[in-house]
């Protein structure tokens, strides 16, 4: 990797990167890509990562791989002038190679809160050299409405977000996770407590969590979790959610992306948690 970095560093001698409105962009992270497109920069995108799947039109672009397992050769093959990446892009060695090649690698903060969404829009707009105020104001209004609606609830449902059930272990979203963020914005309470981020829960912890609703991403293939798997799990089967058949699925990028569609995600999840509440 070090030798590759030295070799690619020679690219920096070809001249400074094109900035702002003329830059050839690679976006890494679904929410960053969504924001760039919403700000009118779709025509400047030359590649995206595998988590960037919305809108559908950008899926025709070259895919440079998963945001946390990047190949610097793949990214550089599209001759980008600028890379906009969600926090956490990597591995570190790949990012070092890209920076050594003279390509501005700009990290966008990824805080899964309403304030974090707006900060993300501001950051992307600033790097692109465009006016982000119209998009920011529209998203901000939707977030305020979601918060006010949640605040008006007398009782809130306990929601357990399950990322996977591999090996029969419940991998759930805890404190500070994007799952907890969207659950709160939709008027729910995160049933997973006592840990941060995404971690495995013991059967005892699942039983103690006693979720009213189980929430998952809508997936296909090997990563899909069927209702039958949930109901066959020794702990999940004993929860109020399983007894009521309250198992919900939503598009993963919409649900957890914390991009410009977050108000729509909160609206959709609220409607499914509290049918008929409007």
Q: How many domains does the chain have?
A: 2
Name which of 231, 273, 257, 249 is nearest 161 in CA terms.
249
Residue 10 and residue 125 in one domain: yes
Domain that holds residue 31: 2-131
Report whether 173 contacts 191 (CB < 8 A): no
Domain assignment of residue 122, yes or no? yes
Shared domain for 163 and 262, answered yes or no, is: yes
b (16+ CB within 10 A) / e for 125-137: bebbebebeebbe
Per-run averaged pLDDT (10 residues), the chain, 278 residues: 39 38 90 98 97 97 96 96 96 96 95 97 96 98 98 97 94 98 98 97 98 95 90 97 98 98 98 90
Judgement on whether residues 114 and 80 belong to the same structural domain of the protein: yes
Do 243 and 160 share a domain, yes or no?
yes
Residues 157 and 102 in one domain: no
Query: Residue 182: which CATH number?
Result: 3.40.50.1980
Per-residue confidence (pLDDT) for residue 10, from 0 to 100 = 34
Residue 109 lies in a domain: yes
Q: Report yes or no on 231 lying in a domain.
A: yes
- Predicted local distance difference test score (pLDDT) of residue 229: 95
Q: Do both 216 and 111 map to the same domain?
A: no
Is 77 within a domain? yes
């Amino acid at each position: 990797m070090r030798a590759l970095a030295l070799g690619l560093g020679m690219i920096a001698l070809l001249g400074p990167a094109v900035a702002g409105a003329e830059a050839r962009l690679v976006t890494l992270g679904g929410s960053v890509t969504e924001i760039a497109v919403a700000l009118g920069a779709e025509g400047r995108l030359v590649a995206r990562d595998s988590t960037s799947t919305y809108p559908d039109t950008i899926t025709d672009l070259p895919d440079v791989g998963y945001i946390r397992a990047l190949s610097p050769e793949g990214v550089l093959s599209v001759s980008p002038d600028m890379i906009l990446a969600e926090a956490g892009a990597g591995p570190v060695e790949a990012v070092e190679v890209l920076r050594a090649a003279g390509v501005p690698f700009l990290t966008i903060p990824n805080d899964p809160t309403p304030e974090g969404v707006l900060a993300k829009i501001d950051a992307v707009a600033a790097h692109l050299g465009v006016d982000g105020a119209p998009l920011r104001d529209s998203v901000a209004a939707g977030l305020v409405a979601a918060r006010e609606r949640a605040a008006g609830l007398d009782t809130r449902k306990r929601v357990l977000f399950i990322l996977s059930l591999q090996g029969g272990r419940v991998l759930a979203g805890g404190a500070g996770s994007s799952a907890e963020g969207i659950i709160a914005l939709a008027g729910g309470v995160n049933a997973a407590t006592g840990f941060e981020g995404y971690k495995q829960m013991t059967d005892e912890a699942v039983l103690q969590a006693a979720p009213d609703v189980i929430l998952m991403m809508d997936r296909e293939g090997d990563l899909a979790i069927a209702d039958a798997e949930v109901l066959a799990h020794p702990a999940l089967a004993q929860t109020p959610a399983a007894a009521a058949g309250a198992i919900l699925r939503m598009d993963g990028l919409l649900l957890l992306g914390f991009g410009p569609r977050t108000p729509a995600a909160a609206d959709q999840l609220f409607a499914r948690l509290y049918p008929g509440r409007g």
